[in-house]
Structure 1
Amino acid sequence: MTRITLLDGGMGQELVRRSGAPVSPLWATQVMLDRPGLVAEVHRDYARAGARVATTNTYAIHRDRLRGGASNHYAADGTELPDLEARFADLHRAALEEAGAVRDRGRIAGSIGPLGASYRADLHPEEAEAIPLYAEVAKLLAPSVDLLLFETIPSLAAARACLAAGRQTGLPVWLAFTVDDEDGSRLRSGEPVSEAVRIAQEADAVLANCSAPEAMPAALDAFSAGDRPFGAYANAFTTLTKEYVAGGTTAAALSARRDMGPEAYADHVMDWVDRGASIVGGCCETNPAHIAEIARRLRAAGHEIA
């Protein structure tokens, strides 16, 4: 029997589904202002499904995402989104309060998404500029969370910045890398995952996230060369092609896979566990039903969910 840490699933796409709000760079952030309590509802549903780690709804709360006039600050119809930078700290507090709804059900992971844009190593700031920006978020989250989860890391330079920022808090730091959907042995930057493993040796866990489930085995095989706990949580999007990534479009341009329901997704997860993964869960377009099926399958295989 193996102790497996079961993460929750996707938050942003689930909030879109429940709120009916259009997808935009601020959709998961704006919903906390428009529909307070909805994020807590999602957290509770994941906890009931079996998740033992709740990931805060803070992935996109970066100053560069909130600032009016930024290149990624427009809705799909071309409308400029409101400037929310003045609400930077308030939005983090709101997300932490929503996550507090499941404080008694396990650990809370403070989510910190990438600067610049998801998947885009070329838009990530230089390391010296990035470290204080990540550290500002990490220090806001630290008093209310159990660990820091840096998500969708696209490059080695970004990973170094995340690790340096996280280490300023004294909390455990988990690094989650996004890998090429067609070649899971490489990051979105094209750099080898094997090099990411070297950086992650100074973290507390290393994961692959927000990539196709089929790409995860290659990443996990690379992770297994290190001595950190490792795992994966994939998305259920149609393939993130290089053309999509280079275009800088939002999730509004993506669609959910019809072949990645809870049972199919859990098949992938159980393969990851067989490869040594001890931390598993779901990312975009997975929901509480996916987590419930993973929990069921883990228990049926004799694993302990932690």
Structure 2
Amino acid sequence: MSDLNTILTQQPFLLIDGGMGQELIRRGVSDKSALWSAQALIDDPSLVLDVHRDYVTAGADLLITNTYSTNGNRLREMELGDQVEPMNRMAGVLAQQAASEADRPVLVAGSLPPLNGSYRPEETLPYEEMVELYREMVGHLTPYVDLYLCETMSTADEGRAAAEAATESGKATWVSWTLRDDDSARLRSGERIIDAVQTLGDLPVEAMLFNCSFPEAMTAAMPALASLDERRGRHFGAYANGFTEIPEDWTLWDGVANLEARRDLDPAAYCQQAQRWYEAGARLIGGCCEVGPDHIAALAAWRESLKVAA
């Protein structure tokens, strides 16, 4: 178990950090690199540390490692296979350093991402191949993290494969699925939420979330997750993105230059969506791509208002 329950005895909800990749781009990292956020681990790791620190200052209780683009499948395809271990370990060290500098307990989650592209369920690898690739990441990250976050999972099997490798470490494990950007309450694969939850089987998953979809899609799906008997008392939550859309033919190999940020999702508007998640029972709340330190600070301020009201 992580220290999740301890934090939730002190706070109305655990505050997850915001997006890393798009925040790094705002700070000068190329938006054309297929490495996306991982490019900073090569060019200027201090930028990654600065982003982590800014999220701590904003009020985050949980930092996510900058390992979204450091899986072995991606790095080997880019002829960077010799960098799998050093890049993952560096990302772990940077998040751990920022957490250790905080004046309060801050957890570190090891990000286990999609292995063959985001939002592309048709591109997922065979199950056993996914498990082995996730085990590779877990082997490098475990010394630096408090828990694992299997994030942006587009299919039920993808979520289970990541969770299988993560739970083998003995660390707490959370699974987060990405949803279709509509009110269907379905994964990008078209699978129902209940199917994704049931596919986890008896794996000791501590929490379940949605991430990297429109906040409105998460608002529509939250009651479905909250009401599932199969949730078995696990905590749940969400951290949405702020993109205008994800083009049908887009892949991370193209870089992110053609992905645009919404203009109607400032910190106040994002908080309004998060309030709906909280009202549905979500106790794990944060942000993903295009949700930055200002958004997290606004969520922290709202959280303080909840404590005062109580």
What TM-score do the two structures reach when normalised by structure 1?
Answer: 0.89
The residue that corresponds to 1:264 in the other structure is 269
Residue 223 of structure 1 is matched in structure 2 by 225
Amino acid at match of 2:107: R
Structure 1 pair 48–184 and aligned structure 2 pair: CA distance change class (3 A): farther
Q: 1:249, 1:21 → 2: CA distance?
A: 12
Q: Does the 8 Å contact 1:184/1:216 carry over to 2? A: no
User: Match for 1:103: what amino acid?
Assistant: A
Deviation at 1:141, TM superposition (A): 0.9
Aligned match for 1:99, one of 95, 98, 106: 95
- Of residues 221, 231, 236 in structure 1, which corresponds to 2:242? 236
Please provide the CA RMSD for this pair: 2.0
- What is the one-letter code of the residue matched to 2:89? R
* Counterpart mapping for 1:103-182 below 5 A: 103-104=99-100, 105=102, 106-182=106-182
Q: Is the 8 A contact 1:200 1:206 kept in 2?
A: no
Counterpart residue type for residue 216 of structure 2: E
CA distance in 2: counterparts of 1:199 and 1:245, whole angstroms: 28
Q: Select 2:281's aligned residue among 270, 276, 282.
A: 276
Q: Does 1:207 align with 2:214?
A: no
Quick check: 1:46 aligned with 2:55? yes
8 Å contact kept, 2:33–2:39 = no
Identity %: 41
1:61 to 70, 95, 106: 70
Unaligned runs of 5+ in 1: 74-82
Q: 1:192-251: CA deviations, max 9, x gaps?
A: 11211223563110000000000002322122112210000000001225x245897542
Q: Is the 8 A contact 2:155 2:191 kept in 1?
A: yes
Note the residue ranges of structure 2 that are not aligned, 5 or more in a row: 1-9
Change beyond 3 A, Cα 1:6–1:178: same
Q: Quote the residue 1:80 is aligned against.
A: none
- 1:295 aligned to 2:300? yes
Most deviating of 137-146 and 274-283: 137-146
Q: CA deviation at 1:184?
A: 4.6
* Distance (Å, rounded) in 2 between the aligned partners of 1:19 and 1:253: 16
Q: Number of matched residues? A: 290
CA distance in 2, matches of 1:245, 1:256: 15
More divergent stretch after superposition (190-199 vs 266-275): 190-199
Structure 1 CA distance for aligned equivalents of residues 184 and 147 of structure 2: 26
Residue in 1 aligned with 2:4? none
Q: Match of 2:45, SS?
A: coil
How many angstroms apart in 2 are the aligned matches of 1:176 and 1:245?
21
Q: CA deviation at 1:301?
A: 1.9
The CA deviation at 1:283 is 0.1
- Please say if residues 25 and 250 of structure 1, whose CA atoms lie closer than 8 Å, have aligned partners that are also in contact: yes
**Contact 1:5 1:278 (8 Å CA) reproduced:** yes
Question: 2:22 is matched with which residue?
Answer: 13
Partner of residue 186, structure 1? 186
Deviation at 1:32, TM superposition (A): 1.5
Q: Is the 8 A contact 2:58 2:296 kept in 1?
A: yes
Distance in 1 (alpha carbons) for counterparts of 2:112 and 2:251: 22
- Partners of 1:247 and 1:19 lie apart in 2 by 18
Q: CA deviation at 1:33?
A: 1.6
Cα separation, partners in 2 of 1:247 and 1:58, compared to 1, 3 Å: closer
C-alpha contact 1:179 1:211 (8 A) present in aligned 2: yes
SS of equivalent residue, structure 1 residue 108: strand
2:166 and 2:75 map into 1 onto residues whose CA distance is 22
Q: Secondary structure at the match of 2:186?
A: strand
SS of residue in 1 equivalent to 2:160: helix
